[in-house]
Chains A and B, each alone.
Chain A
Amino acid sequence: MLVTYIEAIRQAMDEELARDGNVLLMGEDVGVMGGAFKASAGLQEKHGADRVVDMPISESLIVGAGVGLAVQGMRPILEMQFIDFISCGFDQIVNSAATLRYRHGGQTACPIVVRGPSGGGVHGGLYHSQNPEAWFCHVPGLKVVAPATAYDAKGLLKSAIRDDDPVIYFEHKFLYRRIKEEIPAEEYLVPIGKAALRKEGRDLTVIAYGAPVHAVMKAARDMATEVDIEVIDLRTLLPIDWATVKASVRKTGKVLIVHEARLTGGIGGEVAARIAQDCFEDLDGPVMRLGARDVHTPFAPALEDYVLPNQEKITEAIRKLAAY
């Protein structure tokens, strides 16, 4: 079945809504309109307005209400129209949802999924380009995922919906309609907490997630005659699959971490620190990172291109590390 990334997301929600009567979808314009990006097209017609709910512009309410539903055993999928607006629901995520089980001494679960379109490269400007995953990786009690392929988008979303903990699910809007992929017709799940080894190699490892995975894969193919690159797609950012990461570092001795989010305070720092600590004697070069420059994602094309990682910057970073 050939599907786009966004269609994979739609299918995951459709299938889970059909499978489990406790699953709901709540968000702004998700019902009648089928979502600003059409990620929920047709779902309200099929599953009813009680379960695919058009919400007021109230992100704090959307997450908070989700927590209330979750305590009652429901499994709400909570859509942020753009993930940038997750900051408006931040308190309910980090203080209400993430602590729910903990502050009740394990009496309850919090099976919510907060999902929405993240990422830049679409000239969206400051408030339609953000990659705020690192904020949430700093919060115990949450799980954070960021699929790069249609296959993972579907499988991870289904796993997230079935997970008993709050999962923040970062979709990349650049990928929504840009990738089309063959996925199985039958049901499958992608486990949370497991990275994917996208390509084997022996010279150096590039660790990425989300949209940059595709640019890294292209670099690995284009540079095949120069350097033999191993590519890891983290897929889950909390918890990170350290076993896969470390095995690769022990093999290649050189690591580059690439993400679209800003460098300072980003996931790459955590990964680099862990590698430096646990794999120091295996390193054949400094652990390198490539992320967005430490500035907001600007609107004008030249500015945005200057700020975000791109094919050229990835190639350059790989070349630098290979030569070290």
Chain B
Amino acid sequence: MTEQKDRDLYRRLRLIREFEDRISALDKQGKLMGGVYSGKGQEAVTVGFCHDLRWDDWIFPLHRDLGAYLVKGADPKRLMAQIFGKREGFAKGKDSYLHGGDLPNGIFGATSMLAATLPVAAGMAYKFKIRKEDRVAIAFFGEGASSRGDVHEAMNFAGVHKLPVVFVCENNFYAYSTPNELQFGVDDVADRAAGYGFKGEVVNGNDLHDVMKAAGKAIDRARKGDGPTLVECKTYRYHGHSEHDRADYRSEEELITWESRDPIFLWENYLEKRKYDIDAIRKETTGEVTRIVEEAVAFAEAGQAPEGPEAMEDLYAMPIETEAR
């Protein structure tokens, strides 16, 4: 990899981290409403899978994949406005957080019904296949969501038709409070791929090199028409399920163990070993990501709050008369 790309990957990791930290702080400062689901600690997964995608590929992030938005090309300003529920956000205030996708950039918004995006991704990949488009769909989901029937239905169909889709399971070991052992009986979610007739792989989701290697292979396979792949990334969220979750269900020791394998820390280590000027890079990147996030916050705070009657817009292609007078 070139130094330029190495440094760019670093900037991406740092931008996501800065963005997530800022949102958590804004929430505690009472400036946000609604849930905030920090993906802090999981940045390498979204960077690894989205960085080398084409503009016309599609991603299906779940609630903790804010990073995927930032890497796939969403405007940080609009993303922040989305979180503030402003008119400038993707959903124009109708819903917050990652429920409003940025479709022109190939980013599909999720519902709260976990993994409900997977069948949608499969359907989209089916279109890519029958129209002979060499595009791919990347569907992210947590190991918690893997317990839902939608996951089975989507993977089964993708296996039947060898669809150009990559299923990315972010296993952060807890579905809210519920640990892996109360969620599934297999060792790895990736083991399930065999049941659908495609390859499953487990990678260290905190190591960007590992993630990028697996992502590259899986995306290449999909693009060439060789079918889906399930990549399970073992990773960890530092925060609770949401900002109002104490996360009492896990130990301090466990958290510290994972913090010592932090994806940004690992990547800085790599940059240093490559004999790049890590201090200069760190300084420059800090200034850059801070500015981008501050500008995004300023943009969102100055954004327009939607007005009541706008609630009725965007419901149908042409408005229908729903309120008899």
Residues of A within 8 A of B (CB): 28-29, 32-33, 36, 54-58, 60-61, 81-82, 84-85, 87-88, 123-128, 263-264, 293-296, 298-307
Contact = CB atoms under 8 A, between A and B. Distances in A.
Interface string B298-309: 000000011111
A123 B248 CA distance: 26
B307 A302 contact: yes
Interface of B: 33-35, 85-86, 91, 93-97, 99, 111-114, 144-145, 147-149, 175-178, 182-184, 248-249, 305-312, 315, 322-323
Given A33-B176, A300-B306, A56 B147 contact: yes
B228 to A, nearest CB: 22
Closest A-B pairs by Cβ, 7 of them: A306-B308, A127-B112, A300-B93, A56-B147, A33-B177, A123-B33, A300-B85
A201 to B, nearest CB: 28
B178 A56 contact: yes
Contacts of B86: 300
Nearest to A82: B112
B96 A299 contact: yes
B314 to A, nearest CB: 9
Contacts of B114: 57
Given A33-B177, A125-B34, A298-B311, A303 B94 contact: yes
A127 B113 CA distance: 8
27 contacts: A28-B175, A54-B178, A56-B147, A56-B178, A56-B182, A56-B183, A57-B145, A57-B178, A57-B183, A58-B147, A85-B113, A88-B113, A126-B94, A128-B112, A293-B311, A295-B322, A296-B95, A298-B93, A299-B34, A300-B94, A300-B305, A301-B305, A302-B306, A303-B93, A303-B307, A306-B307, A306-B309
A81 to B, nearest CB: 8
A302 B305 contact: yes
Chain A interface mostly helix, strand, loop or mixed?
loop
Contacts of A293: 311-312, 322-323
A126 B111 contact: yes
Given A127-B113, A306-B309, A298 B95 contact: yes
A85 B144 CA distance: 14
B34 A124 contact: yes
Given A60-B149, A295-B311, A29 B176 contact: yes
Given A29-B176, A56-B147, A300-B93, 4 more contacts: A85-B112, A300-B86, A300-B306, A301-B85
Contacts of A61: 147
B306 A125 contact: no
B312 A127 contact: no
Nearest to B309: A306
A307 B315 CA distance: 13
A54 to B, nearest CB: 5
Contacts of B91: 299
A299 B305 contact: no
Contacts of A295: 311-312, 315, 322
A298 B148 contact: no
A54 B177 contact: yes
Nearest to B314: A295
B311 A307 contact: yes
Given A298-B311, A300-B85, A300-B86, A88 B148 contact: yes
A29 B248 CA distance: 12
B306 A303 contact: yes
Contacts of B315: 295-296
Nearest to A306: B308
B184 A294 contact: no
Contacts of A56: 144, 147, 175, 178, 182-184
A125 B312 contact: no
Contacts of A300: 85-86, 93-94, 96, 305-306
Contacts of B94: 126, 296, 298-300, 303
B85, B305, B311: which has the most chain A beta carbons within 10 Å?
Answer: B311
Nearest to A56: B147
A85 B176 CA distance: 15
B315 to A, nearest CB: 6
